[in-house]
Amino acid sequence: MQLIIQNFGPIKKGEIDLSKKVYVFVGYNNSGKTYLSQLLWSLFHNKTIDSFAKATTELKLEGKDSIELTSELLDTILNKFSDFLIRHIIPKTLNIDSHHFTLDKISLDFQYKLNDLKNAHQEGGASIQINDGQFLMMSKMKGTLRVTFEEKRLPAELMNSQPFLSLNENMVEQPTSLRKATLIKFILSMLMDNVHQPFFLPSSRLFYPIFYQYIYRLEKEKREALSKERDALSQMLVEFMKNKEKGKDFALESLPAHAFESHYQSPYTEPMNWLFDKIYRLNEETKASDYYEPLLFSLRQIMGGDIVTKKEQGLAPLDFYLKMNEQDNDLPMYLSSSSVNQLSTLYLYFKYWADKNNNFLMIDEPEENLHPQNQIALLNVLLEFANDNNNKVLMTTHSPLLADAVNNYIYLGRLKSQSVHIAINNYPELNQNINLTSNEIGIYFFEGTRIIPYEPKDYGVHFKDFSSEIRKIKNISEILTDQIYQLINKED
């Protein structure tokens, strides 16, 4: 499915294929690369899909046992989804007012091919019927546009368990609403090649380790103050109810003037808030996963050590240190190298936050602060992540070196598709276990107002902008060295 964008910040016109496994955004500064990354973060986020599905109550979805996916139905859902993103999601994501000039005349349109949807196979989705423990399974077989429903019953031992009883007590949606919401999520999941859980790592990642103690303290103080105010308000309301039962009056003027106002708004965008919250919630009991241990090992080789956490007195919930490979010492992050600071959040992502499957990692300028050798090593980590477990990766870059390395994997995929023996050894810069085809890699150039797709050919992608600047530098070098040569000949 394609996303057509118009008038979004600096982007006046652009089109993105949402089915790619790897995205590479290149282009000029301030041309909208990070804007679009955060838009995609919103688009793929489970919270967005859930909110939209629950809010779309007026949509008529007829059919007890099955429903046909017609163009009319899909267009209706996608048009409503586009409007929902513009009105409710994007302003919240960017932390701006809905009338902000950035969103002036914004337009989002989705284009899909029914044949692609017909050839897809999808199963899943469960909508619990409150009273009798029934749930709804949905499936769409390859070669058809019909989604079928099958009602099943939960086992008696599960129905009588405490979690299920609690669910029954707290569920407020009607079964028909749950059914409709589940179907909408099911359809969007198919259109978006299975919804992936996004995670955004912004550039200038040096910011986090240097200021994390300040951020934690600031957030902690504000949250504690807000909690105290809420407790006080809650107590006042309890007194109000008691007095009301006794027939006494309670003056609302006695409540704080700001009691019903929003107390705190984070100054960051929603993807950054998501990262802050993840870091803030880390504690000594947080369990590390082993899903991506090989990638963590590669990052430890790049950083020269492991990121460890310690509980310290009165600062943040946790402090971070680099446990160096060659020494049995822990180095505070503010004394660690810029490359370690940069990679720390990526390391934490692989260690604590990435799910086993269906992740969408978005990372700004991964090459920042890295030696060329480590740039390639990091690219291999990111592509290995995208290669497995139905993951996606989006990276923005200004590095011609990374561009050339991405091309190497396009060449590799081309040779593998023809079952050609790869006659290359002793080059750790190329991981031959990575299997990515040119169709799975989307490369986009941000010109300033337009997004231009760079189509991979048999010989890779021609990064015109990078090539042009490199050629200019080489031309200048040749002119100057020629003049030096002439000067030397004169002196002789």
**pLDDT tens-digit series, residues 167-204:** 444 444 445 567 788 888 888 888 887 778 899 988 76
**pLDDT score at 11:** 92
Mean pLDDT of 70-96: 92
**442, part of any domain:** no
Residue 213 in domain: yes
User: In whole angstroms, how far apart are CA 101 and each of 33, 76, 105?
Assistant: 18, 28, 9
Query: Is the pLDDT score of 300 beyond 80?
Result: yes
Considering the domain boundaries, does residue 343 fall inside one?
yes
For residue 266, is it within any domain?
no
pTM over 0.85: no
Q: Quick: pLDDT tens for 434-474.
A: 999 888 999 999 998 999 998 887 777 878 778 788 888 88
Q: How confident is the model at residue 159 (pLDDT cuts 50, 70, 90)?
A: low
Average pLDDT score over residue span 282-307: 88
- Check: CB of residue 271 under 8 Å from CB of residue 38: yes
Tell me what percent of the residues of the chain surpass a pLDDT of 90.
27
Task: Give the pLDDT of residue 97.
Answer: 81
Query: Please, which contacts does 315-324 make with residues 24 or more away whose CB atoms are closer than 8 Å?
Result: 315/213, 315/216, 315/217, 316/212, 316/213, 316/216, 316/217, 316/220, 317/216, 317/280, 317/281, 317/282, 317/283, 318/282, 318/283, 318/284, 319/213, 320/209, 320/212, 320/344
Q: Is residue 322 part of a domain?
A: yes
Cα–Cα distance, 379 to 429 (Å, whole number):
9
Residues sharing a CB contact under 8 Å with residue 208, sequence separation 6 or more, in sequence order = 215, 275, 279, 341, 344, 345
Collapse the DSSP code of 454 into the 3-class scheme (helix H, G, I; strand E, B; otherwise coil) and give the result: strand
Please tell me the predicted confidence (pLDDT) of residue 166.
Answer: 46
CB atoms within 10 A of CB 417: 11
Mean pLDDT over residues 206-218, rounded? 52
Task: Give CA–CA dist 145/439, Å, rounded.
Answer: 24
| CA-derived radius of gyration, the chain | 27
Look at 250-254, 279-283, 285-289, 359-363 and tell me which has the smallest mean pLDDT: 250-254
Range in 241-250, 361-370, 419-428 the model is least confident about: 241-250
Q: How far apart are CA 85 and CA 66, in angstroms?
A: 28
For 396, the 3-state DSSP assignment is: strand
The answer to the question of residue 402 being in a domain is: no
E strands, 333-479, are: 359-364, 392-396, 441-446, 451-454
Number of domains in the chain: 1
What tokens were used for 65? 């046992």
DSSP code of 453? E
**301: domain range?**
200-254+271-357
For residue 207, is it within any domain?
Answer: yes
Average pLDDT, the chain: 80
The mean-pLDDT minimum among 63-72, 241-250, 390-399 falls in 241-250
Q: What share of the chain is helix, strand, coil (3-state, %, to 5)?
A: 45, 20, 35
Report yes or no on 250 lying in a domain: yes
Cα–Cα distance, 160 to 166 (Å, whole number) = 10
Highest mean pLDDT of the ranges 94-98, 404-408, 419-423: 404-408
Residue 171 has what pLDDT? 42
